[in-house]
Amino acid sequence: MIHSLVLAALVVLLTLAGPRPGLGAGRDLVIGLGGDATSLNPVVATDGISYTVEWPIFDSLLELDASLNVKPLLAESWETSRDGLTYTFKLKKGVTWHDGKPFTARDVAFTFYSVLDPKVTTPHRAYFDALAGFPELTAKENPKKPEELSVRPIEVVDDHTVRFRLRYPSGSFLAVLVNPRAGIVPEHLLKGQDLNTAEFNRKPVGTGPFKLVEWRRAERVVLEANDKYHGGRPALNRVIFRIIPDAVVLLQELRSGGVDLMENPPLTEVARLKQTAGLRVLTADNTSYTYLGWRQDVAPFTDLRVRRALNHAVDVPSMIKEVLQGYAAPAAGQFPPSSWAYDPSFKPYPYDPAKAKTLLAEAGFKPGADGILTKDGKPFTFTIRHDVANQTVKDTAVIVQEYLKRVGVDARLEPLDWPTFVKKLFASEFEGIVVNWTNHHDPDPFAYTIWHSSQWKGRNFAHYKNPRVDELLESARRTAVVAERKKFYGEFSKVLMEDAPYVFLYFPQQVYVTRQGYEGFVALPTFGGIYQSLKVVRWTGK
């Protein structure tokens, strides 16, 4: 009898014991991720989570400062030739790989030649379009090898000097040489291997502030500080990425101490999180943007009035306030507020449902019996496809549908899972879409690949075609002078806004929640901007 009582008491006691403090509180940083990386090789791994985990492991030649200008990292200094076609980088001396071997210019050349190699699967290739010999090196049939070119795009001058040669002056060249898309990989470990499937991708070796200790798939990635880091040993002991796919669970872990940093909590919870003792919320602008888009070459979207009407129909500020809790900037075009190409004098179309209705009436639509507009007997109805897994995009689509309904447009939502959605997107199999897309902190290459009429098979899946826009984008590409580029992109933005090809909705901000006591986070206004500062984050306990 007593025996079972004691047992029962024990069980009760054990059950009531509260949660324990997180592992290594203080000098470790535990980051919660919503999914696992696919591989840790910056040349081939191109999904968002892989970028995040790669960032502390690999350095790039340059990195960004708070205004998104480039500053030295592995490259100490550089010179540009007068004609803008040659860039000579002087590399930092004394840098070593995590395995102790010295870092040299040969690694730089190897990395970028790998990016250009058509056998390597990497979407980064397009960023280096300006390099000399690009068409020959990346040709589908009989691509040339670098040795066969008369002008070498990448030249190892000596152990610490590397030279790039371009075939046209490109203002965005420096901007693409930063993480997460341009980490440098070691030649001595990857030469002769198939980068797509190398064992290296699971056991990466970089020059970054942290090195890989352990990667347990779908569970965690453990990094530890690189004592020999050329920028000084990081203050943190270890960075541990925990993979927790469920957003609700991730939040619970943050609250109970199992996780110290997470990105993009459910926005409805942020207000409460801000008031929670022991937690801090950091926000920063971001370059990705969300828009309502449609096929440009399909009626009724071919009518400018219709496109403008749709722009007037959606109350973006209200949407941002209620659904995004204010954590977004309204979009008036392609370029986010943090971009130098951004022009604050552009205002988005104001919310004006009356005007929307007038424009639609002008375009020949009349309200039918059920309130839905019809023209020539056909109702104005179309399907909006979107990614089912992105909660914010889902919510946005639902609200957009509601606003459209109020002006008589019948939009049907068709959420698709990511693999199906992307496939249909790039095959241009859609009528309307609500999408959140990454962007680059430099206007090129995204502006070009999305809006140029030569890119219908690529990112211009909406089939936009405007000769004036083509002209402007080409001109902007071929000059390195910032003032000139700014002029071209300014004109481009103006034409685009007047043409209203999309309803540009908003630029969602990055929102991070972290434990009080960690200092040093700097969230750059670009993708994953906080991860660059991990090397300076330290625990002060305050």
Partner 1 sequence: MRDGALARLLGHRRGLIGAGAVAVMLAAGVLAPVAAPYSYSSQSLTQRLRPPGRAHWLGTDGFGRDVLSRVMWGSRVSLQIGFAATALSLVVGTVLGGAAGYFGRGTDQAVMRAADAFLSVPALFLVLVVVALFGASLLNTALVIALVTWAPAARVVRAECLALRGRDFVQAARALGAGHARILGRHLLLNAVPVIIVQASLMLGQAILIESGLSYLGLGAQPPLPSWGNMVVEGRQFLASAWWVAAFPGLAIFVTVLGFNLFGDGLRDAFDPALRGAA
Partner 2 sequence: MTDLRSYLLRRLGFAALMLVGVSLILFVIMQLAPGGPEAVLIGGEFSAEAAAQIRARLGLDRPIAVQYVTWASAAVRGDLGRSFKTGDPVARLIADRLGPTLQLTGAALLFAVVVAVPLGVLAAVRRGTTWDTLGSAFSLFGVSFPSFWLGIMLILLFSEAVPWLPPSGLAEYGHESDVVSRVRHAILPTLTLGLIQMAAVMRFTRSSLLEALRQDYVRTARAKGLADGRVVWRHALRNALIPVVTVIGLSLPTLVGGAVLTETVFAWPGLGRLAVGAVFERDYPVIMGVNLVVAAVVITANLLTDLAYTVIDPRISYQ
Q: Which is nearer to partner 2, 401 or 455 (CB)?
A: 455
Task: Sort strands 161-165 and 86-91 into parallel, antiparallel or unpaired.
Answer: antiparallel
Residue 404 structure tokens: 């459209």
Interatomic CA distance for residues 135 and 118, integer angstroms: 11
Residue 383 structure tokens: 């399907």
Q: Which is nearer to partner 2, 309 or 331 (CB)?
A: 331
| From candidates 151, 299, 422, 482, binder to partner 2 by CB under 8 A | 422
Query: CB under 8 A: which stretch of 352-360, 397-405, 503-511, 513-521 binds partner 1?
Result: 397-405
| From candidates 8, 9, 23, 151, binder to partner 2 by CB under 8 A | 23
Residue 48 makes contact with partner 2 by CB under 8 A: yes
Contact mark string toward partner 1, 299..338, x via CB under 8 A: -------------------x--xxx---------------
Strand ordering across the sheet containing 378-379: 366-367, 373-375, 378-379
**At its nearest, how many Å lie between partner 2 and the CB of residue 247?**
10
Strand, helix or coil for residue 508: strand
User: What are the angstrom distances between the C-alpha of 160 and each of 70, 91, 157, 341?
Assistant: 20, 5, 8, 34
Interatomic CA distance for residues 531 and 434, integer angstroms: 28
| From candidates 7, 9, 47, 540, binder to partner 2 by CB under 8 A | 47
Tell me, rounded to whole angstroms, the distance of Cα 92 from its chain centroid.
28
Return the H-helix or E-strand segment holding 331. Answer: none
**At its nearest, how many Å lie between partner 2 and the CB of residue 288?**
8
- Answer with the entry of partner 1, partner 2, none that 394 interacts with (C-beta below 5 to 8 A by kind): partner 1
Contact 127, 173 (CB under 8 A): no
What residues numbered 245-284 form the site for partner 2, per CB under 8 A?
245-246, 249, 252-253, 256, 258-259
Interatomic CA distance for residues 269 and 244, integer angstroms: 18
DSSP string, 205-216: --SSSEEEEEEE
Residue 372 makes contact with partner 1 by CB under 8 A: no
User: What are the angstrom distances between the C-alpha of 424 and each of 302, 395, 429, 433, 524?
Assistant: 21, 21, 5, 11, 33
Residue 478 makes contact with partner 2 by CB under 8 A: no
| From candidates 205, 221, 399, 497, binder to partner 1 by CB under 8 A | 399
Q: Which is nearer to partner 2, 196 or 381 (CB)?
A: 196
Residue (of 211, 214, 241, 213) closest to 229 by Cα position? 211
Query: CB under 8 A: which stretch of 42-50, 51-59, 171-179, 399-407 binds partner 1?
Result: 399-407
User: What are the angstrom distances between the C-alpha of 371 and each of 44, 214, 357, 367?
Assistant: 51, 60, 12, 5
Residue 395 makes contact with partner 1 by CB under 8 A: yes
Interatomic CA distance for residues 249 and 185, integer angstroms: 35
Residues touching partner 2, count (CB under 8 A): 56
Residues near partner 2, by CB under 8 A: 14-20, 22-24, 30, 36, 38-39, 46-48, 50, 121-124, 126, 196-197, 201-202, 217-219, 242, 244-246, 249, 252-253, 256, 258-259, 389, 417-426, 437-438, 457-459
Binding footprint of partner 1 on the chain (CB under 8 A): 247-248, 266, 268-269, 272, 318, 321-323, 388-389, 394-395, 398-399, 401-402, 413-417
